[in-house]
Amino acid sequence: MLFDPKPKVKREDIFDREEELKKVMDSIKNYPITLILGIRRVGKSSVLRVALNESDAIGIYIDARKLYMNVSGWITKDELKRELESALLNLKPKILKSLQSYFNLAKFSIKGFELSFREKSLADILENLNEFGEDRNKLIVLAFDEAQYLRFYGTKGGREFLALVAHAYDNLPNIHFVLTGSEIGLLHDFLGFENYEALLFGRIYNEITIEPFTREKSIEFLKKGFDEANLKVSEWELKKAVDVLDGIPGWLVEYGFHYLHSNDPQKALEYTMKKARQSILEELKELERRSKRYTLILKAVALGFNRWEKIKEYLETHSGRITNARFSSLLKNLERMSWIKSELKDGKKVYSMTDPVIERVLRE
């Protein structure tokens, strides 16, 4: 169902994205590392999961954000292993059964759904998986959703994770990685492909960006979702919803979902904005733990202050003086986390919000 608010896993539940799916599936096959980038709620997890389902490769899906949320402080090796175990247990029993001998574990019971890697290193586990892949002539795809959270793996800013990826890249040809990220600059900085001091420097990777739907596509998407539910909704209503919600599938699905339950377009839009407000406030709370000033800066940009000086002025009227260096670093961080974007106009940087719904919520 198109208006199901969970990430999609089956092709028939996903609207459009033919091109993106093809790109991801080709990339999974041909590149050792694939990045899927795009702002929150644009559909990265959905495209990833459908691609893993459709591909010939054996896909192993791990949600790095969930992994991070489950721990206090650092993600440990044992936690990552546990996540990997449960991801493997989601594989088809037939594959799991034939994997068994490769792991060479004393404790491996498929019937009781038990699999314990306690005595194995992660590098060993990857080597076993690679060997299995070689014998079966299959690629093993390790997919880490919201991979920027893996910078919290171990105590060295995620270096041990990157070392693992580098090891697999150099030695385990049947293992490929897919990493998604909503915080695009952060993910790039973490992986460090362009940083000659970083572990993954110079490695080959392919990048696919998922963009929001165009206005036409957004309207078509809503229409198709309502058709699916046998509901007639006037073109005018759809346009009005898209005026407010723009082309981010996550918000459009929310709207469709509420419409189906309330049968009232006005209410559905109100609910959607209310839900949006809640999620955005949650996300801002996470940001504010790092600096209270982030929200004020975002508010300034949402209100239309789009130049460095103007945003700084707004911030200083609301929270006191700040040094240029400190302010620049906060602004840059918001851009790295994809809350805002910048472009050059007449040689000067102009800032704007990446998500029009967040912009609307912050303007209230």
Residue nearest to ligand ADP (CB): 43
- Closer by beta carbon to ligand ADP, 8 or else 312: 8
Beta bridge partners of 348: 345
Q: Does 45 bind Mg ion (CB under 5 A)?
A: yes
Helix axes 235-245 and 249-262, enclosed angle (nearest 10):
130
The partner in contact with residue 154, picked from Mg ion, ligand ADP, none with C-beta cut-offs of 5 to 8 angstroms by kind, is none
The partner in contact with residue 38, picked from ligand ADP, Mg ion, none with C-beta cut-offs of 5 to 8 angstroms by kind, is ligand ADP
The partner in contact with residue 8, picked from ligand ADP, Mg ion, none with C-beta cut-offs of 5 to 8 angstroms by kind, is ligand ADP
CB of 48 to ligand ADP, least distance (A): 8
Report whether 294 contacts 334 (CB < 8 A).
yes
The partner in contact with residue 176, picked from ligand ADP, Mg ion, none with C-beta cut-offs of 5 to 8 angstroms by kind, is none
Q: With 0-12 CB in 10 A as exposed, 13-18 as middle and 19+ as buried, what is 1?
A: middle
Which residue in 297, 289, 266, 281 sits closest to 357, CA to CA? 281
Longest dimension (CA), the chain: 67
Q: Which of 1, 9, 16, 228 binds ligand ADP (CB under 6 A)?
A: 16
CB of 286 to Mg ion, least distance (A): 15
Q: Which of 40, 176, 293, 299 binds ligand ADP (CB under 6 A)?
A: 40
CB of 32 to Mg ion, least distance (A): 22
Handedness of CA 164, 167, 170, 176 (dihedral sign): negative
Residue with tokens 């590098």, as numbered in its chain: 123
CB of 251 to ligand ADP, least distance (A): 8
How far is Cα 277 from Cα 136, in angstroms, rounded to an integer? 49
In this structure, the dihedral spanned by the alpha carbons of residues 249, 254, 255 and 261, taken in order and rounded to 10 degrees, is 140
- Closer by beta carbon to ligand ADP, 41 or else 176: 41
Q: Which of 253, 276, 302, 353 binds ligand ADP (CB under 6 A)?
A: 253
How far is Cα 244 from Cα 277, in angstroms, rounded to an integer? 13
Total site size for ligand ADP, rule CB under 6 A: 21
List interacting residues with ligand ADP (CB under 6 A): 2, 4-8, 14-17, 38, 40-46, 249-250, 253
| Site for Mg ion, rule CB under 5 A | 45
